[in-house]
Amino acid sequence: MLELRGIRSGYGDVTILKDVDLTVEAEIFAVLGANGAGKSTLMRTIARLLAVEAGDLRFRGEDVTAVAPNRLAEMGISLVPQEANIFPNLTVRENLSLGTMFGTRSSRSRIDEVFDLFPDIAARADQKAGSLSGGESQMVAFGRALAQEPRLMLLDEPTTGLSPKYVNLLLEKVRQIHDSHGVAILLAEQNAVKALEVASRVLVLSLGKVYLDSPVSETDLEAIQGGYHI
């Protein structure tokens, strides 16, 4: 689904990711690490919002290292960024409609599908998204990304700042989206325990480098936590 080989990227003269290799199959793949480890930089680089300084990025076998972000969205990659991931002055329905700019099925069928998955926001369809709670806003962001009919969803720390109720709900929806829609998911998280409940594979970033890359079944929290203390 997705391959990164020797990826280096960052901001201006500051390189954050240093020779990162990563392969994502049709799975839920968790990316863990402390603050500043490079998780968001990785997500933004894959989504082509940051330039690739070195290395190769391939999606479904095609070289997308220099592909524009809108073209990548058309090809089937959707991103839910950590911040500013909804349009607060638009209604819930209008936010979801933006996701239907890509894909082939009717806008109505895809929005109805999102409302079936997230009934809490279906009841607020004509409400301004800026008036929603944090958890409800994340549902809208998830829904808009899903409405793009993606093959791969990039979720950048989607549970940050949410109550335990919404953390559990959203991660259960991650599992449901993967299982029922066949969408591969790359999930950047700080909450390692919760991420490991839904992921089949885990990568730990430490200071922009890969510290660990392993099936969840073959690792444990002690091994993962080592990457948080370098």
pLDDT in tens, 203-222: 999 999 999 999 999 988 88
Kindly indicate the confidence band of residue 223, based on its pLDDT and cuts at 50, 70 and 90: confident
Select from 154, 114, 117, 121 the least CA-distant residue to 136: 121
**What tokens appear for 159 in the block?**
């549970």
How far apart (Å, rounded) are the C-alpha atoms in residues 119 and 136? Answer: 10
Residue 10: pLDDT over 70: yes
Please say whether the beta carbons of 172 and 15 come within 8 A.
Answer: no
pLDDT > 90: what percent of the chain?
72
At 191 the pLDDT is 84
DSSP bridge partners of 155:
80, 187
Kindly indicate the confidence band of residue 59, based on its pLDDT and cuts at 50, 70 and 90: very high
Residue 84: pLDDT over 80: no
Tell me what the mean pLDDT of segment 186-208 comes to. 92
Please say whether the beta carbons of 188 and 156 come within 8 A.
Answer: yes
Between the CA atoms of 200, 42, 157 and 219, what dihedral angle is there, to the nearest 10 degrees? 30
Residue 198: pLDDT over 90: yes
CA 50 to chain centre: 15
Tell me what the mean pLDDT of segment 172-181 comes to. 91
Kindly indicate the confidence band of residue 34, based on its pLDDT and cuts at 50, 70 and 90: confident
Which one-letter DSSP state was computed for residue 105? S
What length is written for the chain?
Answer: 230
Domain boundaries along the sequence of the chain:
2-87+150-228
**What's domain 2-87+150-228's superfamily in CATH?**
P-loop containing nucleotide triphosphate hydrolases (3.40.50.300)
Q: Which residues contact 112 (CB under 8 A, 6 or more apart)?
A: none
Please say whether the beta carbons of 30 and 43 come within 8 A.
Answer: no
Please say whether the beta carbons of 9 and 209 come within 8 A.
Answer: no
Select from 112, 164, 110 the least CA-distant residue to 134: 164
Residue 154: pLDDT over 60: yes
Tell me what the mean pLDDT of segment 41-61 comes to. 94
At 230 the pLDDT is 52
Please say whether the beta carbons of 183 and 177 come within 8 A.
Answer: yes
Kindly indicate the confidence band of residue 103, based on its pLDDT and cuts at 50, 70 and 90: confident
pTM for the whole thing?
0.90
Residue 19: pLDDT over 70: yes
Kindly indicate the confidence band of residue 144, based on its pLDDT and cuts at 50, 70 and 90: very high
